[in-house]
Amino acid sequence: MTEQNVEKGIAETLALGKEGGPGFRWKRWLIVVLVLAIAAGVAWYFLKPDPKATLTKYKTEPVKKGDLTVIVTATGTLKPTNSVDVGSELSGIVKTVEADYNSRVKVGQVLARLDTSKLEATITQSRASLESAQAKVLQTKATVTETRAKLAQLKNAREISGGRLSSQAEVDAAEAAFARAQADTASATAAVSQAKAVLEANETDLAKSVIRSPINGIVLVRSIEPGQTVAAAFTAPVLFNLAEDLTRMDLHVNVDEADIGKIHEGQKATFTVAAYPNRTFTAQITQARYGSSTTSGVVTYETILKVANPDLALRPGMTATADITVRELKEALLVPGAALRFTPPVVQVEEKTSRGLFFSLFPRPAGQAQKNDEVGTGKGKQRVWILKDEKPVAVVITTGWTSGSLTEVTSGNLAAGTPLVTDILAGATK
């Protein structure tokens, strides 16, 4: 190869790297075509119609106008209106038991008797002590009479004799003896009173050995048997539990702190018990107590309802589930609860396509997203969705009382009969 040919080949090779060379132009057009193809693919992906959106079917329920009853549900226990624990102040052995479970008793009726042998012996001893004290009083009174007479005799003799027959010392001794006799009489009289008090206390204990009913009622609990020893130490042991009148009972329920603000005296309620699953009983609130109780972190407030029980079907201790009517609305505008919980996913797709290709490639700022999501929120404000051109459109409403399944609408651009979207029925792909 000649030197001229070599130089010519080098020059041709160098010409390929120049901007105006054919190789450079070919590469540049190839890059442009690739970029346009990628952009067209991205645009087609984001801007293509969604087949699922076009085929989405929605379930709707109409806005209703009617009555709304708001209830608060609580559980509790039935208790007697008035129950009394009957105990014993005395210790001893139970001699007889004269009342059993479910026995109907009256005021003063004997429920049980304690063995009184020891008490009777104590009473006999107390009576003997009283008689001894009374005899002591008689003896001291006789001494008083004797010393009084002797003192009078000395004073008379001294007066008649002009002080020659009785000395002053004798008169003083007689006066002292008379005073001592009077003091002994007072002491004996006090001993009589003390002996009477002891006797009365023992007789009272003897009377208390007979356990009697303090009320008219029925025996709910009997915790003694004949021959059992009753030990009354610091507290009186409970022998019987009596319910005054089971035709009237109280239902004690625990109301959650979130619902206690709706509870007021006089509100009506219904409740059921497991023993009668097909029967509903009525009740009325008589008291909502301010004291709270906390169980497993849940704060509740005890509420009392009065219950009529004429057929004695209800029994103390039964667990009841009560529905308390806290509000009754007439001819209110009502929306279904499912409509308040529904949010269509298609809203996000429409928003994405409406913002354009560039913005759809990048997420929107957090502050802007929050601002858009808060549309229709606030105190009592919520969003429901209606269909326009087969697409859900949000409507802002203000809600009031709710029963869970239905909610009152207090303001908003809704009319009775307007269908509200509650769910998506189907979304098939072509």
Residues in the chain: 430
pLDDT tens digits for 173-188?
A: 888 998 999 999 999 9
- Residue 385 in contact with residue 339, Cβ under 8 Å? yes
Q: Is residue 12 a part of any domain in this protein?
A: no
pLDDT at position 24: 58
Q: Is residue 20 a part of any domain in this protein?
A: no
Q: Are residues 277 and 395 located together in one domain of the fold?
A: no
Q: Is residue 18 a part of any domain in this protein?
A: no
φ/ψ of 410, rounded to 5, equals -95, -25
| CATH code, 283 | 2.40.30.170
CB-neighbour burial class of residue 9 (10 A; exposed 0-12, middle 13-18, buried 19+): exposed
pLDDT at position 424: 87
Q: Which residue blocks in 86-116 are alpha helix, DSSP H?
A: none
Q: Are residues 417 and 344 located together in one domain of the fold?
A: yes
Of 371, 407, 377, nearest in space to 394 by CA: 377
Q: Are residues 55 and 130 located together in one domain of the fold?
A: no
Q: Which of 308, 328, 348 is the last residue in one of the domains?
A: 328
Domains of the chain: total: 4
Which residues of the chain fall short of a pLDDT of 50? Answer: 1-3, 6, 10, 13-18, 52-53, 347-377, 428-430
Q: Are residues 177 and 139 located together in one domain of the fold?
A: yes
| CATH code, 226 | 2.40.50.100
Q: Are residues 338 and 408 located together in one domain of the fold?
A: yes
Q: Are residues 147 and 191 located together in one domain of the fold?
A: yes
Q: Is 227 left (phi over 0), alpha (psi -120 to 50) or beta?
A: left
Q: Are residues 253 and 367 located together in one domain of the fold?
A: no
Q: Are residues 262 and 383 located together in one domain of the fold?
A: no
pLDDT tens digits for 405-415?
A: 899 999 888 88
The 3-state DSSP class for residue 24 equals: helix
Q: Which residues contact 10 (CB under 8 A, 6 or more apart)?
A: none
Residues 132, 124: Cα–Cα separation, whole Å? 12
Q: Is residue 277 a part of any domain in this protein?
A: yes
Q: Is residue 141 a part of any domain in this protein?
A: yes
Q: Which residues contact 90 (CB under 8 A, 6 or more apart)?
A: 114, 119, 205, 208, 209, 230, 232
| CATH code, 401 | 2.40.420.20
Q: Are residues 267 and 349 located together in one domain of the fold?
A: no
Helix 117-160, helix 168-208: angle, nearest 10: 160
Q: Are residues 213 and 103 located together in one domain of the fold?
A: yes
pLDDT tens digits for 127-140?
A: 999 999 999 999 99
Q: Which of 296, 328, 360 is the last residue in one of the domains?
A: 328
Of 262, 261, 263, 282, nearest in space to 272 by CA: 282
Q: Are residues 311 and 189 located together in one domain of the fold?
A: no
CB atoms within 10 A of CB 285: 23
- Residue 326 in contact with residue 403, Cβ under 8 Å? no
Q: Is residue 222 a part of any domain in this protein?
A: yes
Q: What are 222's strand-pairing partners?
A: 240
Residues 67, 330: Cα–Cα separation, whole Å? 4
- Residue 215 in contact with residue 244, Cβ under 8 Å? yes
Q: Are residues 265 and 299 located together in one domain of the fold?
A: yes
Q: Is residue 254 a part of any domain in this protein?
A: yes
Question: Residue written as tokens 């042991």?
Answer: 237
SS3 content of the chain, % helix, strand, coil (to 5): 35, 35, 25
Q: Is residue 76 a part of any domain in this protein?
A: yes
pLDDT at position 347: 46
Domain that holds residue 346: 51-67+333-426
Q: Which of 244, 271, 306 is the last residue in one of the domains?
A: 244
